[in-house]
Amino acid sequence: MNLSERELKELRPMIASWISDDLIRNLFSMMSEKMEPELVGSILISTLKQFPKGSDEEMILAAARKHLYREEDENVKEAGDAKKIVRDYFDSLLLEMRLMGSTLPDTKTDLFNRTFSSPIMTAALSHLGRFEKGKETMMDVYAKSAKQTNILHWVGMCDNDWFEQIADLGAETVRIVKPYADEEKLINQLVFAKEHKAIAVGIDIDHTFTTSGTIDVILGEQMEAKSLEQMKRYRDATDLPFIVKGVLSVRDALLCKEIGADGIVVSHHGGRLPYAVAPVSILPDIKKAVKDELKIFVDCGIASGMDAYKALALGADAVSVGTHLIPYLRKGEDAAIERIEAMKRELSGAMAYTGVRDCHSFDASVIHRR
């Protein structure tokens, strides 16, 4: 997709003057091949802010190309693709049937003292469109779809006025705040969330660094690697349930318990780390370590009720679906609602065939590796 003159004019004030129009156009075209259209502009801006003034433009293009296309040895590329690792792991999990004495299953689940129709939730997506007060974006459609299907809704990076507009749509909502270097902004967003009816809040720790090992800058906002003392301070800044998103080890899960977190999201943010273990593969070890002392949520790669079933059987309390829903959100609320309802039916079918009568009855022993 090429960048129109109108789009260039809109982007130009947000990009440093030393960066040429040609570089902007080239990056936009390159990113459009790999990303959802709604994300391209914001990610392009964030990417360019990571380079110091006067950086060689060919070097910037090469770095972007390497990140987007993983330009390296093809065998390494395939083996290290964290998204593919997730998909392959899900597909390697097989179910045995348990039909003697089975009953129709009940998918309702209780989370944060609310009852939802299903343990399938939305994920903490960000940047689905550009915010203009009073104007509907895909972020709003996302929230309305969660409300209509009675599932728990999660919201990622957004400013307070956008969060307020989303919260006013009525879905029960968890707000996940970025690890901003700006402490005042971070804590303000946690507090604001409670004032606007969020039922839980949290911080993501899996978007602190770039894939080059530097501190990330997202839409012009500097991130920061957080100490345990800082994490405790954020926990203490609110009396809402506090969630840490981006846990992918027993070590980090136990540290989350140590700081007083109420829950974790087992996730690698859609594959930011090559060769990362699939969240669902580390899930049983995390469940064994924290037992029932933390709520355990899982995301990354969940694209069906069957995927949800496998994560729930291995120890998750609920699962989040994000990227999979974006094409349906683009078509509108009705399409998104129908896909969510279809996933619920897929989950119910798997439960019926394996003797799982409700969300308290999942059993890991039903799972076999291919």
pLDDT value, residue 35: 67
CA dist 293 and 194 (Å) reads 23
Task: Output the pLDDT for position 118.
Answer: 98
Greatest Cα pair distance, the chain, in angstroms, is: 71
For the 94-369 domain, the top CATH level (class) is alpha beta
Q: How confident is the model at residue 148 (pLDDT cuts 50, 70, 90)?
A: very high
Give 259-311 pLDDT, tens digit per residue.
Answer: 999 999 999 998 889 999 999 999 999 999 999 999 999 999 999 999 999 99
Mean pLDDT (whole number) for 105-115: 98
- State the residue for tokens 């064994």: 288
Please give the pLDDT value at position 170. Answer: 97
Report field, pTM of the whole predicted structure over 0.85: no
pLDDT of residue 67: 61
Residues facing residue 149 across a β-bridge? none
pLDDT for residue 8: 77
Mean pLDDT of the chain: 91
Q: Give, in order, the Cα–Cα distances in Å from 14 to each of 2, 46, 165, 197.
A: 19, 10, 24, 32
Candidates 183, 141, 74, 88; CA nearest to 326 is 141
* pLDDT above 60 for 157: yes
Alpha helices by DSSP H, listed for the chain, are 5-11, 21-32, 37-48, 57-69, 74-80, 82-92, 138-149, 160-167, 183-195, 228-236, 250-258, 279-290, 305-313, 326-331, 333-353
pLDDT higher than 70, residue 9: yes
pLDDT at 11 over 80: no
CA atoms within 13 A on the CB side of 203: 32
- pLDDT tens-digit map of 32-76: 766 666 667 777 777 777 677 777 777 777 777 666 655 444 444
Choice between 47 and 161, residue whose per-residue pLDDT is larger: 161
Instruction: Give the model's confidence band at 130: pLDDT under 50 very low, under 70 low, under 90 confident, else very high.
Output: confident
SS3 209: strand
| 217-218-220-224 Cα dihedral, nearest 10 degrees | -40
pLDDT single digits (tens) 92-106: 999 999 999 999 999
* CA–centroid distance for 66 within its chain: 23
Location of each CATH 3.20.20.70 domain in the chain: 94-369
Burial 100-115 (b: 16+ CB within 10 A, else e): eeeeebebebebbeee
Q: Determine whether 370 is exposed, middle or buried from the number of CB atoms within 10 Å of its CB (0-12, 13-18, 19+).
A: exposed
